[in-house]
């Protein structure tokens, strides 16, 4: 009969309910990826749109390892609309208008790794001669009767996974607002 042995050869104990008895330390996958692999990042930006329903953020994973996004930190000031809206799409493709490159910060100060992708902000990334289209909306937040919102983390109901060459974009509805956004992400393939 096969057994599970510890590093010194000791056979592990199994209870009379067929449960493995362990004393262990558990931590999140993000913590492991950040500490052991140095592949966790934040990309930060602030942006005011040109018009309603403008794309203000674009990111694409250009690496072979999946990019995982669990949520975003979002705040805004000076919204004029009664109901400011922010929505997230996956799969938008095409050129962007007036894009400014962003450099994500590595969350492990001892890591020399850099994020593998394209990260851009702009007031109207989908405007002008841009061809940015084709995405599917996956999340929408409506802030009813809120002109100023302190930054707060908003968790996605499920982790968003961007395989190689896939995109995530952020769109906003209130032309007068300035949005402050942090997108935390890390790289990890399914095991």
Distance CA 39, CA 147 (A): 36
Distance CA 69, CA 72 (A): 8
Cα-based torsion angle of the residue sequence 93, 183, 175, 173 in order, rounded to the nearest 10 degrees: 70
pLDDT tens, position by position, 38-47:
999 999 999 9
pLDDT tens, position by position, 140-171:
999 888 788 889 999 999 999 999 999 999 99
Distance CA 180, CA 75 (A): 5
153-190 per-residue burial string, b: 16 or more CB within 10 A, e: under 16: eeeeeeebebeeebbbbbbbbbbebebbbbbbbbbbee
- CATH assignment of 40-187, given 1.10.10, 2.60.120, 2.60.220, 3.40.1620? 2.60.120
Residue reference for tokens 């799409």: 89
The pLDDT value recorded for residue 100 is: 98
The pLDDT value recorded for residue 38 is: 92
Q: Please give the residue that has the higher pLDDT: either 109 or 15.
A: 109
The closest alpha carbon to 104, from 39, 32, 153, 189, belongs to 39
Residue reference for tokens 């850099």: 114
Q: What pTM was estimated for this model as a whole?
A: 0.88
Q: Is the pLDDT assigned to residue 130 strictly greater than 90? A: yes
Q: Is the pLDDT assigned to residue 129 strictly greater than 80? A: yes
The pLDDT value recorded for residue 19 is: 86
The pLDDT value recorded for residue 179 is: 94
Distance CA 153, CA 90 (A): 20
The pLDDT value recorded for residue 3 is: 77
């Amino acid at each position: 009969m096969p057994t599970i042995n510890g590093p010194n050869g000791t056979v592990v104990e199994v209870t009379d309910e067929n449960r493995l008895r362990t004393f262990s330390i558990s931590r999140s996958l993000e913590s492991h990826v950040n500490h052991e692999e140095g592949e966790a990042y934040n990309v930060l930006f602030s942006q005011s749109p040109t018009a309603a329903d403008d794309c203000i953020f674009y990111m694409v994973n250009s690496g072979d390892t999946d990019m995982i996004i669990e949520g975003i930190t979002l705040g805004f000031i000076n919204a004029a609309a009664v109901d400011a809206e922010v929505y997230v799409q996956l799969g938008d493709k095409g050129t962007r208008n007036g894009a400014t490159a962003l450099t994500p910060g590595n969350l492990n100060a001892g890591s020399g790794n850099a994020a593998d992708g394209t990260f851009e902000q702009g007031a109207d990334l989908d405007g002008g001669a841009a061809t940015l289209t084709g995405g599917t909306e996956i999340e929408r937040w409506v802030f009813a009767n809120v002109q100023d919102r302190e930054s707060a983390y908003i968790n996605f109901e499920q982790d968003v996974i961007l395989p190689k060459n896939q995109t995530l974009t952020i769109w906003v509805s209130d032309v007068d607002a300035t949005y402050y956004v942090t997108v935390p992400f890390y790289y990890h393939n399914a095991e």
